[in-house]
Amino acid sequence: MSRWSLPLALALSAFAPAPLLAQPNAPTPPKVLAGAELKDYIRANYTKYEYQIPMRDGAKLFTAVYVPKDDSQKYPMLLIRTPYSVGPYGADRYPDTLRPSAHFVQSGYIFVYQDVRGRWMSEGEFVNVRPHNPAKKGPKDVDESSDTYDTVDWLVKNVRGHNGKVGITGISYPGFYAVCGMIDAHPAVKAVSPQAPVTDWFIGDDFHHNGCLFLPHCFNFMYGFGKNRPEPTKKFGRVGYEHGTPDGYKFFLDMGPVKNADEKHYKGEIAFWKEVMAHGAYDDFWKARNIRAHVKDIKPAVLTVGGWFDAENLFGALEIYKHAEANHPPRFNHLVMGPWVHGGWSRDDGDKLGDVSFNAKTAPFYREKIEFPFFEAHLKGGGTDTHPKAWVFETGTNVWRRHDSWPPKGAKVTKFHMRSKGGLSEFAEPGKEAYDSALPPPPFDEFVSDPAKPVPFISKTDIGMAKEYMTADQRFASTRPDVLVYQTGELKHDLTVAGPIEVEVYVSTTGTDADWVVKVIDVYPDDYPDPDPNPTGVKMGGYQQLIRGEPFRGKFRNSFEKPEPFKPGEVAKIKFALPDVYHTLRPGHRLMVQVQSTWFPLVDRNPQTFCDIYTADAKDFKKQTHRVYRDAEHPSRVTVGVLGSGAP
């Protein structure tokens, strides 16, 4: 046995999947390494190799492989494919950590990192969210699934010391590549964990939500990421844009119509921004980049991971799980959702976001008790996969729950109707008499929406898409005349909302287009205690915590493919879903719904004149009056799944 094999053997036994509840006289788990100790451990116990792996069309993809020095046993391989660089480059240069976590490093895995086609040191042409080709006819027909297959095939034939089993993982864009890797997977691929995967960039991930452009996110990301890389390089760094101000509201308002971004700032250098601007509807360009359509007949075990408060790819995690489950699912298909920001489960404690505390270190729990045992079971045979179908964290009560389906079975469909005087009531389908007796005329609420004075998406100053907006206090918005507010009375007992939130609002406008932003909010009691310590001085009494909010571009109300104008003054139905939640409003809290038409600069401004917004001029932006109707013929409401008794 080598000098390294004894500590490795100890680590292997100690890091076998642990039970959820501590057992009497259980051995103390070894220390999880971090910082300088982890850095030194990697150098002492792993050897790095660099390869140019040939694909079927001849392109070579740069790949870094870290192999345990102990050769007394065989190890599984864990692959991450990325557009963000596998650096540091050079066989003698090591990173400070190896992903997914130190648990894997101390247990012993062969870690494989690859620059995807056309990025950094890999050959070929890079294509953003490269369309999947399900009908390949020859070696020139390549996509990310074929590149993954070819990579795995080369690895199992050329890398020493493996046990024949390969896992794939990745967060965000690498999560997209993990999804591609489980489609038509190589037989050696036994377990895949797509985490916050990019899934559909027009409907719900990253750059568009229901056709609305998430302006600061797309603008800031693409400036650094989207620059051309003409040939393989080790120095293709991402440089952020110099806005000249920390105030995103001011910067993007001063920019004017979104078409000005290229002329004023990008100067024609960002090819994908031009493609985004050329495809303002859900056309073939976007449909080809919808990887959901190909998630079927998956063979490896799957652990899909997402964050309830992931501002970037919440949609992707939920959708990949749902599609894998609906189309001949693998034997093991799990969903994990925690109270996390984008990728927060991989690096932080996950115990709070902004002003909201979750009273538990949820991310370390996930890394030790969920992610690590999943790969150990499927790649090493280290116990059986005993995970439930869904591992989900319930916010509000702040507790992990296990469910055998998601959304959970038994959730009661409950409709909360918007009422006069800002009321929000839960009742069965109301008859005309119920509305007429409760609602004096007029049966609508209205507000003036001015594109020159849009509603901010957050109360603080920020140049980007502030991650805290997903739980941020909405009191600043509820006092504006261009935000409609509806709320229940004080709840008498817990109200647990689980699954997607369906929105159905009946609206009209004096213009020919409008966005409709619907926010679902937990209103705290006035005597809710402040945190202790309280370095920011926040007052939690009456806090209006955003549970979920989502915009919808009105011209897509009947079709994302074929936008159509509103007829001024004519009632139209807007129906869409907010991404899933799992949240309990406690006794004494209130459920609130806010409706507005701007959410700036998170969402680009709608001119409120029917047009191609990406080519609109300043003259197209007009102030308009919008109405939300709430009578028997037009029952505007939100529909949720409620667990337990659930009565307000």
Q: Could you read off the pLDDT of 564-573 as tens digits, one per residue?
A: 999 999 999 9
Domain boundaries defined on the chain? 5-20+29-200+289-403, 412-643
**pLDDT tens-digit map of 435-469:** 556 556 789 999 999 999 999 999 999 999 999 99
Amino acid 385: pLDDT: 86
Task: Check residue 263 and give its pLDDT.
Answer: 95
Q: How far apart are CA 482 and CA 257, in angstroms?
A: 21
pLDDT at 428 exceeding the cut of 70: no
CA torsion, ordered 162, 166, 167, 169, to nearest 10 deg:
90
In this prediction, residues 255-263 reach a mean pLDDT of: 97
Q: What is the mean pLDDT of residues 158-185?
A: 98
What is the rounded CA–CA span in Å between residue 521 and residue 474?
Answer: 8
pLDDT above 70: residue 237: no
Q: What are phi and psi for residue 107, nearest 5 degrees?
A: -80, -35
Q: How many CA atoms lie within 13 A of 133 on its CB side?
A: 13
Parallel/antiparallel/unpaired status of strands 189-195 and 301-307:
parallel
Contact 266, 223 (CB under 8 A): yes
Q: What is the pLDDT of residue 10?
A: 30
For 100, which DSSP code? S
Whether the pLDDT of residue 387 is over 80: the answer is yes
d(CA 372, CA 368) in angstroms, rounded, equals: 6
Distances (CA, A) of 598 to 207, 231, 455, 503, 604: 17, 42, 5, 17, 8
Strand 399-403 and strand 634-635: the pairing is unpaired
User: Which of 222, 57, 205, 195 shows the shortest CA–CA distance to 133?
Assistant: 57
Instruction: State residue 495's pLDDT score.
Output: 98
The two tokens of residue 555 are 């011209």
pLDDT in the model for residue 482: 98
> Does 134 score more than 90 pLDDT?
yes
User: Is residue 136 pLDDT above 80, yes or no?
Assistant: yes
Q: How confident is the model at residue 22, as a pLDDT? A: 35
Q: How far apart are CA 604 and CA 602, in angstroms?
A: 7
For the chain, what is the radius of gyration of the CA atoms? 26
Which residue's entry shows tokens 């070696």? Answer: 139
What per-residue confidence (pLDDT) applies to 26?
46
Q: How far is CA 170 from the centre of its chain?
A: 13
Strand partners, 402: 391
Length of the chain: 648
Q: Which one has a higher pLDDT value, 36 or 1?
A: 36
46-54 sheet: strands from edge to edge: 46-54, 60-68, 110-115, 75-82, 162-171, 189-195, 301-307, 333-338, 390-394, 399-403
Please give the residue that has the higher pLDDT: either 21 or 167: 167
Rounded Cα distance, 138 and 142, in Å:
9
Cα–Cα distance for residue pair 235/149, rounded to 1 Å = 28
pLDDT digits (tens, 9 = 90+) for 336-354: 999 999 999 999 999 999 9
pLDDT at 340: 98
Task: Read off the tokens for 85.
Answer: 């660089």
Confidence of residue 13 (pLDDT cuts 50, 70, 90): very low
Query: In terms of CATH, what superfamily is 5-20+29-200+289-403?
Result: Alpha/Beta hydrolase fold, catalytic domain (3.40.50.1820)
Local confidence band at 644 (pLDDT 50, 70, 90 cut-offs): confident
Per residue in 181-234, pLDDT (tens digit) is 999 999 999 999 999 999 999 999 999 999 999 999 999 999 999 998 889 999
Give CA–CA dist 54/520, Å, rounded: 50
pLDDT given for residue 431 in this prediction: 61
Quote the CA–CA distance of 503 and 291 in Å, as a whole number: 25
Angle at 481 (CA atoms; ends 477, 486), nearest 5 degrees = 65
Given a contact cutoff of 8 angstroms between Cβ atoms, the answer to whether 574 and 557 are in contact is yes
Arithmetic mean of pLDDT, 55-59 = 98
Note the pLDDT of residue 433.
55
Whole-Å CA distances, 269 to 139, 201, 222, 223, 278: 32, 21, 10, 9, 15
Are 322 and 298 spatial neighbours (Cβ–Cβ below 8 Å)?
Answer: no
CATH of 412-643, one of 3.30.230.10, 2.60.120.260, 3.40.190.10, 1.10.3720.10: 2.60.120.260
Residues 6+ apart with CB under 8 A from 381: none
Residue (of 637, 634, 636, 610) closest to 622 by Cα position: 610
Is 417 in contact with 427 (CB distance < 8 Å)?
yes
Using the predicted structure, report yes or no on whether residue 16 has a pLDDT greater than 70: no
Phi, psi (5° rounding) for residue 8?
-65, -45
Say if residue 389's pLDDT is above 90.
yes
Q: Please enumerate in sequence order all residues whose Cβ is within 8 A of that of 81, keeping only pairs 6 or more positions apart, or say none.
A: 113, 114, 116, 144, 147, 148, 151, 168, 170, 174, 177, 178, 181
pLDDT band (50, 70, 90) for residue 5: very low
- Whether 647 shows a pLDDT value over 80: the answer reads no
